[in-house]
Amino acid sequence: MDLVLQAGPVVKLVLLVLVYFSLVSWAIIFYKVRVIQLAIKESDRFLDFFWSKKRFDIIGQGVRDFTNSPLAILFREGYHELLQFKKRAAAGSEEGEMLADLGGLGNVSRALRRATTQETHRLEKYLTFLATTGSTAPFIGLFGTVWGIMDAFHGIGQTGSASLAVVAPGISEALVATAIGLAAAIPAVMGYNHFLNKVNVLIGEMDNFSQEFLNIVDRMERGK
């Protein structure tokens, strides 16, 4: 603690920036742990629920219980688009208009793609901050260290003494910046890699679910 308090103003500023990076990084890590765990857990539950029911209207009513599952959101968007299309199709047939079935499938597909993109953004939100912290914090720390060592050498030049007792405290103070930079960067990089892997798994699940949903809609349309 004394080392931090005795450091120069530039080193103190660097330390403040690093502490900010560390604070937000850890907040993101905790937040993401919770969000991604909930997403994975509820997606598994939703898939079980989805395959156990054979009617979309029943699934549509039960979707409200899976607010954190990206797959449930995908279903909700796709189903909503399907209902819209069916309403318009019913209105069109009444008015004597012809609507192509494939056009409806295309709408649902686009709705699913849009929902997938939105969910991917939601899941990946704040991860860029972790990546930034992981890549820049060590350099910021290094900058603080270099500045501190420059300061220490300047002091040596002024006092004219190069003994270890004069050099060591300055270098020790300066090295604190690198230590804190690494302390901020290491968990950030680890968290980023971990969450990116989990998000990729969820994106894969969302793609698979979209394909399954479109297949089911296609079969329903052809079965008419």
Binding residues for other proteins (CB under 8 A): 1, 19, 22-28, 30-31, 34-35, 122, 125-126
User: Minimal distance in Å, beta carbon 25 to other proteins?
Assistant: 8
Q: Give the angle 111-114-120 at the CA atoms, nearest 5°.
A: 140
By beta-carbon proximity to other proteins, the closer residue of 32 and 76 is: 32
CA-CA-CA-CA torsion sign (158, 16, 174, 149): negative
Nearer to other proteins, 84 or 132 (CB): 132
Closest distance of CB 183 from other proteins, Å:
10
Report the residue number, 5 or 100, with the smaller CB distance to other proteins.
Answer: 5
Nearest CB to other proteins, comparing residues 28 and 206 = 28
Please give the backbone phi and psi of residue 99, each rounded to the nearest 5 degrees, phi first: -120, 130
The answer to whether 3 and 176 have CB atoms below 8 angstroms apart is: yes
Distance of closest approach, residue 115 Cβ to other proteins, in angstroms: 17
Q: Which is nearer to other proteins, 35 or 156 (CB)?
A: 35
Q: What is the dihedral of CA 139, 140, 141, 143, to 10 degrees?
A: 90
Phi then psi for residue 161, to 5 deg, are -115, 130
The encoded tokens of residue 154 equal: 């300047």
DSSP annotation of 224:
-
Rounded to a whole number of angstroms, the minimum distance from the CB of residue 27 to other proteins is: 4
What is the closest distance, in whole angstroms, from the C-beta atom of residue 72 to other proteins in the complex? 17
